[in-house]
């Protein structure tokens, strides 16, 4: 592997542009932390520890003049089946058994109708959006700059041919990619 002519110090140790690789596409991952249960067991303790980790990273200075406006750092975790079951049940929708559905978060502008486009793309792929859930948020903690640009977070409940797991996973991946590229405002 060839390196740039700048040298080998820690800040300049990027491979030179070659083939499909372009170092200008690299992004910093400053302050990334991982918390897991080594036995793979789901636990609310993981979320509590993650929250503590985030709070201990405030030294990064990723806030504006108003400390309520930040860079959007957060936690990524699997959604518990029981929580989703309860939430979608409140919308009049029975959640399929674990592994027979998928959901995700779409960040849309207030009043945006992109959910119809998402539904259409899903149908083209042999998937079906059974229901949409508006994710509850705590907008009162946002500073004025963040509040002015706050999206609405929507969760689709997507089902398909889960008996062919690889095909179902592939269709979900294509749905995600097509939605990202085809729907304005996502």
Question: Are 27 and 106 in contact, with CB atoms under 8 Å apart?
Answer: no
Closest listed residue to residue 56, CA positions, set 34, 35, 76, 31: 31
Give the C-alpha separation, 81 to 99, whole Å: 9
3 state SS of 174: helix
Bridge partner residues of 15 (DSSP): 3
102-103 and 128-134: which strand pairing?
unpaired
Cα angle 81, 114, 112; round to 5: 105
Contact 69, 145 (CB under 8 A): yes
Give strand pairing partners of 157. Answer: 103, 131
- Please give the backbone phi and psi of residue 107, each rounded to the nearest 5 degrees, phi first: -100, 110
What amino acid positions are annotated as catalytic residues?
A: 30
């Amino acid at each position: 592997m060839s390196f740039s002519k700048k040298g080998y110090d820690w800040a300049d140790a990027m491979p030179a542009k070659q083939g499909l690789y372009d170092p200008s596409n690299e992004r910093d991952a400053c302050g990334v932390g991982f918390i897991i249960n080594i036995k793979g067991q789901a636990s609310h303790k993981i979320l509590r520890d993650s929250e503590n980790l985030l709070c201990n990273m405030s030294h990064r200075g990723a806030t504006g003049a108003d400390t309520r406006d930040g860079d959007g750092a957060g936690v990524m975790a699997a959604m518990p089946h029981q929580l989703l079951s309860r939430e979608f049940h409140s919308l009049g929708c029975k959640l399929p058994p674990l592994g027979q559905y998928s959901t995700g978060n779409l960040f849309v502008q207030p009043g945006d109708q992109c959910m119809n486009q998402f539904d259409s793309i899903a149908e083209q792929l042999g998937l079906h959006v059974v229901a949409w859930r508006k994710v509850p948020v705590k907008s009162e903690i946002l500073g004025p700059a963040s509040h002015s640009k706050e999206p609405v977070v929507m969760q689709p409940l997507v089902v398909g041919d889960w008996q062919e797991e690889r095909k179902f996973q592939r269709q979900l991946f294509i749905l995600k990619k097509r939605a990202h590229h085809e729907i304005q405002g996502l």
